[in-house]
Every structure is written in structure tokens, then in C-alpha cells.
Amino acid sequence: MRYVTLVIDPSDAHETFNELRQVQVDNEVIATYEEIYDLNPLDDGTAVELVRLTGDIERFARSTSELGDVSVIPTSETGFVYIHLNPGNLDTALIDIIDTHKITVDWPVRYTNRGFQLTLLGEDISLQHVVADLSEIVDVTIEKTGDYHPGMRDPAWHLTDRQIEVVRAAINGGYYDLPRKAGQRDLAAKLELSRGTVAEHLRKAEARVMQEVVK
């Protein structure tokens, strides 16, 4: 099975995507959309989605429900809400395209500063058709593509074996403890590497993990 990670930007010249993901009341940002964990169409043409937000969730629920076209049900998990809504053109198009080409979404779909980031799973030819169809209705950027592995969501999947070895030694040795119990010289001696090599592996591993966690 193959995967493709896309960024979809539905914003226009009048509003950036970062503004689209923010919920404002009286010119005050009260909540920001972070991730979509599920989107299910219903027989009556509406849809239910499970999303994670940051901000004042109770105020978000009150203000959006007052609009009349959506209803919000907070869950027991902090920041997660179910939203019953009338899907927009992009939501409907995504649902139809994914269903037509027998594609699976690797939830969650993330809100980033550049657009929706989503990973789709399926046969290579089907993924190509989906990208082509989406490109006709919205701005699409392909970030990554390749063979799918279940552990890809784990930030450590993106590290090399040596980087994992050095990070594991740093964790076990107390390098990340407060106060720090081991320094780079200690790790270098244990791993029989130079201090510079240890520092380089840690820097690259930390940068890679941060890129995967903060998007």
C-alpha cells in the first residue's frame, strides 16, 4: 500500500488559512482548530466531525450553536468536540473523491499555517487520481509519498538507527533530566563516539522530532 501526504489550502486572497482556522467572537479569537479526527456524512446531507481545538471550548460551543447551522457537543477529553454541521463544498468534494477512488484517510487531519495536512492511503494509481481531482478544486501541495508503514505517525520513525541509539542513551543516562545527570562528554564515552558526533546526532534528532510534532 502507498501513501501521499498533502497540504490543501482553501484560503483566498481575502483571508489566510491561519485566519480560517480561528474562531472569532466580537473580533476576539476564542478558539483555534488543530485537528480533525473523523468526518462522517449522514443520510440527511449533514455530517458529524470530531475535532480538537485549543482555547475557550465552552464559549466556542455556545457561540457556534447560537448561529443555528451547527451544534457542538464537548467530549470528556479536553479540547475535543463533536460538531454536527452542514458540510461545505470542500468537505463534500473530499468525501465524494475519497469514496469514489476507495481511498483511506490516515486520521487525524491537521490544521497547519499552510492548510489542511492529510495523509491518504491506497493504491498508487488511485492516489494519483485523487490528487488530480483535488487539484481541480483547491490548491494542493504534495509533501511526501512512498510505501506506507504503520509506524509512520511515530516521530521516531523518521530518525536513523544511530540517532535513535544516541537519543536512547541520552534518555537512559539522564541527559534530559532536570538537573541534567549526564553531559555530551559522558554520552560520547559510553557510545565510543566523539563529543561532536554525539552533539550532531542529538541536534538532528531533536530537530526532526520537533518538525513532526509541531506542524
**DSSP-derived secondary structure for 158-202:** GS-HHHHHHHHHHHHHTTTSSS-S--HHHHHHHHT--HHHHHHHH
- Residue-by-residue pLDDT tens, the chain, 215 positions: 899 999 999 888 678 888 889 988 888 999 999 999 998 888 888 889 999 999 998 888 888 776 556 778 877 777 899 998 888 888 888 888 888 888 999 889 999 888 999 999 999 999 999 999 999 999 999 998 998 876 666 667 668 889 999 999 999 999 988 888 999 999 999 999 998 999 999 988 887 777 665 55
Burial 118-131 (b: 16+ CB within 10 A, else e): bbbebeeebbebbb
Domain termination residue (choose one: 146, 169, 196): 146
| 125 and 181 assigned to the same domain | no
Structure letter (DSSP) for residue 62: H
pTM listed for this prediction: 0.69
Domain termination residue (choose one: 118, 146, 174): 146
Q: Each residue of 53-67: pLDDT tens digit?
A: 999 988 888 887 765
Q: Which domain holds residue 20?
A: 2-146
Number of domains in the chain: 2
Q: Each residue of 168-194: pLDDT tens digit?
A: 999 999 998 888 899 999 999 999 999
| 51 and 135 assigned to the same domain | yes
Structure letter (DSSP) for residue 151: G
| 164 and 134 assigned to the same domain | no
Q: Beta 80-85 vs 70-74: how paired, if at all?
A: antiparallel
Nearest partner of 6 among 128, 176, 149, 165, judged by Cα: 128
